[in-house]
A and B are shown apart, each in its own frame.
Chain A
Amino acid sequence: MDVTLAAEHQELREQVTEILGDELAPLIRRMADRPRHGAAPDDAEIRALVWQALTGMGALGLNQSPAPGDRRGLRGLAVLAERLGEVLYQGPLLDTVLASEALLRCAPDPGRERLLKEIAEGASVAAAVRDGGVRPYDAPLAAGATGDTVGAERRFVGFAAEADWLLVPGRTADGVHRTALVRRDQPGVHLRRHEELGRGELYAVRLADAPVTFWLTPEGDAETAWHELIASARTLQAAYLVGLARGALRLGADRLKERRQFGGALAKQQAPAFQLARLATRVDAAHLLTQQAAWEGDTGRDHRLTAGQALAMAATLAQDTGRDVLHLHGAHGMTDASDAQLFYRRATVESRVLGSPARVRADVMPLLWERGPAD
């Protein structure tokens, strides 16, 4: 059993770390944050730059293996997602790779190939999955009578206003699971930006007879494909949250070294130092479990249980780290000038967008008794 990253993933990590480097990290963190006071910074340029750099390094094609049915990309994507979380990147990248993941699960078809190519070339997708309640999946979806339009209400859709496509899964009135791909700039697509805790780019999306470009029809059993896709989404979100916790932890450790009270650096006090040491251990634990989920997915194993467990673990960790690191910053951590509050707010939103940890655990709970012996 080798739990270290394979050479190709090490290399990928280095490449991503170079692109989203420490000098750029403070700028990326503030990307898409709209302050409650004062004007939002004009960050269009840096956003475009980051998107170009990520697509340029082939991030959108990581899971598009040339061999059909061979999905070796989840580990690589998890490595990427972790770094994205660490620098608090906000953007449509993970939704876009999930859309290509969903397309890859469909039967080959000229429409599918065209879309995959567009995505590999830089088209972006926003996943319009959730309603506003506690269940992030299985929101209702109505296919038009002729089958070429769709109606749905979705909430908390990231970057809907700038994505080229919307991926809209849901359950029809007769209980069938379906997924539509809709061009964002079509009539019948209505967007409204949420005012929410993260103050990011999250939108309410209303589709009223919006034209569907492509209905995704998975090869094999639709339910199984849907659950596998959810597991992949959970794996990537878990990786993002592990990264977020890692980034927050670093910020916290830096603060303890800088901040002096009682005649010395706070870093010399055992209580806060141990608090961060505990979190650091949890970060490594959650990182490895997330990588295990990705490995299971990549090697054709059933990764639903591990992905759910990894997401719940990473979500709780990210929330706890955001909370504790803010606290260790003192009142300064609450100010707009401090990134500690940014990590805290983002951790709170990001740890819930795929369902609260309790719900995710409840969802995968039956799989615990179906699991085979460990390898």
Chain B
Amino acid sequence: MDLAPTPEQRAYRDEVRALLDTDEVRAETAAVRTRPGTEGGLLDIYRRLGERGLLAPNWPREYGGSGLGIAEKAILTEELIAHGVPDIAHTLSVDIVGLALLLYGTDRQKSRLLPPIARGESVAGVLFSEPEAGSDLGALRTRAERDGDGWRLSGRKVYSAKTQLADFALCAARTTESEVPFHGITVFLVPLRPPGVAVEPLWNIGDERFNEVTLSGIRVTEEDVLGTVDDGWGVIGEILGLERTGIEFQAKARRWLDAALERTGAEGLAPAEADRLVALDADVRAARLLAWRCVDDLHAGRSDEVRSAMAKYWAGETGREVALAASGAAGLDALLAGDDEESLGHGVLEAACREAPGLTLASGTSEVMLTVIASAGLGLLA
């Protein structure tokens, strides 16, 4: 076990930090945090990272990346979050959609869609969840009806992040009715700008809005299929599994805990609060180790669904707990929002309390993770 980063990884982190530790980035981040409703999308900082090939560091150079490894990608995520840069556009576009394209995309799809994302000029979204299909994604009802050499998509997708800014999204739809569970689903690359696609906000407590996306017969072709027709379930499982390292969740927990530690100091805390913070710090450190174990697995070409479920479960639960406990220890002022003139650190802990409930729901709920650990890990629930 060698927990030290390689010299290259350290150099990469330093490079990213140098880019993020600037007044411009601080100003841009603060602007997003102090004005509710102005969520970060195509941030300048994304473009600046993109210009240097740092936004999608693990992508091949031909698609705008730097040909680096998965560890550098994890480092970037940690640093974006540590610097308070909204990361969801990055996570969705680079980590989920980008990964899906790299794994399953045709050369044409990759060269058309990846470079604008890597340059920080385009965002991509994910249209999986539906009103009646959340944890039970296999129950999705969005239909792809055959139409000549293509399909027409109709259905309602909910809770998608960033689709109001995105050019296209991965969309899971039913191409074939089938008795076999999970068979007959196909993943499409759906353009979001044309007529036939309506994107409406579903406002929520967080800084990042959800959208309801209604597809009214929008036409797609073979060109827009990702992977194989009717075999989309495997695509979804693979990309969600590979993306699931918990890295972003532990990085958030770290940021929030550090904000509270900075605010409280060791003096003046009730002993029980101090005790709680020490325990939570240990939990966050363990979350980081669990996350980096998954990163190492991916680097070595392994992927272990139980380990990644553990990493996501632990980091999600810890992050949510940190938001509540850290803001509790820091006093009532910690609940002042970024747009209150007296807020602490642009309302970082208040925003944490609003973001926290999503940590145990997004990217696979805690219960879905426990199901994987119990069944695949322990042979239970059979």
Contacts and interface: CB of A to CB of B under 8 A. Distances in A.
B378 interface: no
Contacts of A335: 202-204, 210
Contacts of B148: none
A256 to B, nearest CB: 13
B342 A204 contact: yes
A356 interface: yes
Contact of B329 (A35, A271, A337, A356): A356
Interface in A90-134: 130, 132-134
A261 B367 CA distance: 13
B212 to A, nearest CB: 10
A1 interface: no
Contacts of A319: 324
Contacts of B342: 132, 204
Contacts of B159: 331
A132 B204 contact: no
Interface in B352-378: 353-354, 357-358, 360-362, 365-367, 370
B137 to A, nearest CB: 10
A9 interface: no
Nearest to A272: B367
Max chain A Cβ within 10 angstroms of own Cβ: one of B139, B159, B270, B332: B332
Interface stretch (A70-78, A194-202, A283-291): A194-202
A336 B203 contact: yes
B216 interface: no
Contacts of B136: 261-263
A358 B276 contact: yes
B132 A260 contact: yes
A133 B332 contact: yes
Given A134-B268, A195-B336, A336-B205, A359 B134 contact: no
Interface string B234-260: 000000000000000000000000000
The winner among B135, B336, B353, B366 for most chain A CB atoms within 10 A is B336
B335 A155 contact: no
A350 B136 CA distance: 35
Contacts of A333: 357
B331 interface: yes
B335 A327 contact: no
A260 B134 CA distance: 10
Contacts of B281: none
Interface in B258-304: 264, 268-273, 276
Nearest to B358: A334
Given A204-B342, A326-B357, A352 B204 contact: no
A326 B354 CA distance: 11
Contacts of A361: 270, 272
B340 A331 contact: no
B324 A133 contact: no
B217 interface: no
Interface of A: 35-38, 130, 132-134, 136, 155-156, 194-198, 204, 260-263, 271-272, 319, 323, 326-327, 330-331, 333-337, 341, 344-345, 348-349, 352-353, 356, 358-359, 361-362
27 contacts: A35-B203, A133-B333, A155-B332, A194-B340, A195-B338, A195-B340, A196-B336, A196-B337, A196-B340, A262-B135, A262-B136, A262-B139, A272-B367, A327-B357, A331-B204, A334-B210, A335-B204, A337-B202, A344-B357, A345-B205, A352-B328, A352-B332, A356-B329, A359-B273, A361-B270, A361-B272, A362-B271
Interface of B: 36-37, 129, 132, 134-136, 139, 158-159, 201-206, 210, 264, 268-273, 276, 320, 324, 327-333, 335-340, 342-343, 350, 353-354, 357-358, 360-362, 365-367, 370
Given A330-B135, A348-B327, A348-B353, 15 more contacts: A36-B205, A132-B332, A134-B330, A134-B331, A134-B332, A197-B350, A261-B134, A262-B135, A327-B366, A331-B210, A331-B358, A333-B357, A334-B358, A336-B205, A341-B357
